[in-house]
Amino acid sequence: MKPGYESDMQRQVARGITARPVGRGVLLEIPCTGGHTVEHTLDKMLPPDAMPRQLAQRGWRIERRKATCPDCVTKEKKPMTVQPAPVLRAVDAPTTPPSEGAKVQRRLAYTAIEEVYDEKLRSYTKGASDAGIAAVVGCSESLVAGIREEFFGPAAVPEPPEIIALREDHAAVIEAIAAVRRDMASVRSSFEATLADLDKKAQGIGHRLDNAAQANGWKR
């Protein structure tokens, strides 16, 4: 478990919360405002700032660094006044449990994301994406995006403008260096051709000089 993980949990969720590693996950002991402690097991060590949302989805109430478990939240609810029944919308209709095939796809998507997601940077590694994982697993891109958002984090952390500007400047300098190297290579090739021509001429004159000296008995 990373140093400071428990103290970060205390700042994000509730004072007095404790965390200890269990396998690849973590066991949280969360003090409830109802006066008892609730154990909450995570299969994977999630970032502390993602915990309030996950607990809220499971019926917890998190506010002012205090946590109230789902049972206590239910007990605190006041009797509701009689109101006209709301119009049932499609989203309110009961949903059927996911099929075994859907469960398998979720597990495969989770495993695939885990392999290419950098938790420290809170971003996919280079080249990875929701669409790419969906194609490999054989599921919808929205399913992959939902699992990533719930258990990992954003798909990518945008770079600040100053970093983007530095990358552009760096690329421009690299291209300038390459252009200078090409010019140097061209000039060198021209010099070598000129030197080769002069060398050939010098050799020809030398042969003629040797022949003239030998014919007339001169010493060279």
Q: Are strands 61-63 and 37-42 parallel, antiparallel or unpaired?
A: unpaired
Supply angle C-alpha 71, 74, 78, rounded to 5: 155
Q: Which residues on neighbouring strands pair with residue 28, listed in sequence order?
A: 19, 40
The encoded tokens of residue 103 equal: 């469960």
pLDDT at residue 36 in the model:
94
pLDDT at residue 137 in the model:
92
Spatial separation of the C-alpha atoms in residues 50 and 48, rounded to whole Å: 5
Res. 114: pLDDT tops 70: yes
pLDDT at residue 136 in the model:
92
> Which DSSP helix (H) or strand (E) runs through 154?
none
Mean pLDDT across the chain:
85
pLDDT tens column, 87-112: 656 555 556 777 888 899 999 999 99
pLDDT at residue 88 in the model:
55
pLDDT tens column, 174-204: 988 998 998 898 888 888 889 898 988 999 8
Residue 87: phi and psi, rounded to 5, are: -70, 125
Q: Are strands 117-118 and 66-68 parallel, antiparallel or unpaired?
A: unpaired
The encoded tokens of residue 187 equal: 């000039």
SS3 string, 45-106, reads CCCHHHHHHHHHHCCCEEECCEEECHHHHHHHCCCCCCCCCCCCCHHHCCCCCCCHHHHHHH
Strands of the sheet with 25-31, listed across from one edge = 18-22, 25-31, 37-42
Average of pLDDT values for 128-132? 92
Spatial separation of the C-alpha atoms in residues 36 and 38, rounded to whole Å: 7
- Least confident interval from 45-54, 79-88, 197-206: 79-88
* Residue of 10, 75, 1 lying closest to 44 (CA atoms): 1
What does the longest C-alpha to C-alpha distance in the chain come to? Answer: 135
Spatial separation of the C-alpha atoms in residues 154 and 211, rounded to whole Å: 86
